[in-house]
Amino acid sequence: MKPYSSARDEFKGEARVFLDANENALGSPTLKWYNRYPDPMQWEIKDKLSAIKKIPATQIFLGNGSDEPIDLLYRCFCEPGRDEVIVCPPTYGMYEVSANINDIKLTKVPLTSSFQLDLEAIEQAIQPQTKIIWICSPNNPTGNSIDRQDIEMILNNFDGIVVIDEAYINFSRQRSFIGDLSDYPNLVVLQTLSKAWGLAALRLGMAFASEQIISYLNKIKPPYNISKPVQDLVLKALDEVGQVNDMIMLLVDSRGRLEKALLELSAVLQVYPSDANFLLVKFDDAKAMYAHLLNLGIVVRDRSNVVLCDQCLRITVGTDAENDSLVNGIKSSNPQILS
Ligand SMILES: Cc1ncc(COP(=O)(O)O)c(C=O)c1O
């Protein structure tokens, strides 16, 4: 496939006068210096990420949130109406939504009751047309990390693409699979700036993979998929790794305290161990608790209709004040009204 070749892609070398891309040379009256198209390959950001993640810049793809590489992976590796993929619910919903949008058959192999991969069931579900296996670790909404050995077993035995979504990896003690990319040509690791980096509004998702896979994703992406203001802000943010690490430690600490406080409440039956910035919490009556909290202006995520998450709400770790409001809100629920 021949990708779109932008004016800036074709130009190489030094120049003073740019009359190649039909931009407005006068600029904008309000935002003066956004009149030029941004770097389609975002090399400055990739160079910084390369140093942080210890991987060559040519093995990094940047997208409009992780949702963009999720969609592009379907379009790259799956033929609509013919190919299929495997997901392991309960897990992040976009793997399924994106499969449906792209007319790719989705086979669901639920996690075990301890929220781990069911390797035997996955082996049985693999068909000749199975092109991708999606693994989310730490998993959303359960919060736990998937056993590394199980993931390695799949990487070693499945010859399609294995995507490991590490959106929450910074909140866990697990080692990222980015360091294993040279061992597995079929591995794609997804990460995002939306969680630990605190930049969900910017929409910057990252895919790490072999140079070959990254070159395919680059071929099919929209040419200027990361806007210039976002590139500028991300470049600035990436200088603050130290502060981000401090914030991660604070959030992990809050997660522990919130877990303890929740376990003391009579309405809480179970708090599942979390490697992420949220807790999956089992209540005596999740739907009633959800409604009660909403009434108090506190929004959590009702996961009680999701497989293996009966009576569960997913609760993001907030600021100390927000966590206190939540705990007080749950305390104020009246068991009589709830039942
Ligand atoms: C597992 C997982 N992957 C990806 C995302 C989306 O990330 P982004 O904001 O980069 O699109 C989320 C968002 O909640 C998520 O939970």
Which ligand 1 atom sits nearest the alpha carbon of residue 192?
10
Question: With bands split at pLDDT 50, 70 and 90, how would you rate the model's confidence at 339?
Answer: very low
pLDDT digits (tens, 9 = 90+) for 246-283: 999 999 999 999 999 999 999 999 999 999 999 999 99
Angle at 320 between CA 317 and CA 321, to 5 degrees: 110
Q: 338: CA distance to ligand 1 center in Å?
A: 32
Rounded distance between C-alpha atoms, residue 52 and residue 4, angstroms:
30
Could you read off the pLDDT of 131-163 as tens digits, one per residue? Answer: 999 999 999 999 999 999 999 999 999 999 999
Contacts of 191 (CB under 8 A, 6+ apart): 66, 166, 167, 169, 176, 178, 205, 206, 208
User: Which residue's alpha carbon is nearest to atom 7 within ligand 1?
Assistant: 66
What's the pTM? 0.96
* Mean pLDDT score, 186-191: 98
What proportion of the chain, given as a percentage, has pLDDT over 90? 93
Question: What spacing in Å lies between the alpha carbon of 29 and ligand 1's midpoint?
Answer: 36
Name the DSSP class of 87: E
Residue length of the chain: 339
pLDDT at 188 over 70: yes
**For residue 336, what pLDDT band results from cuts at 50, 70 and 90?**
low
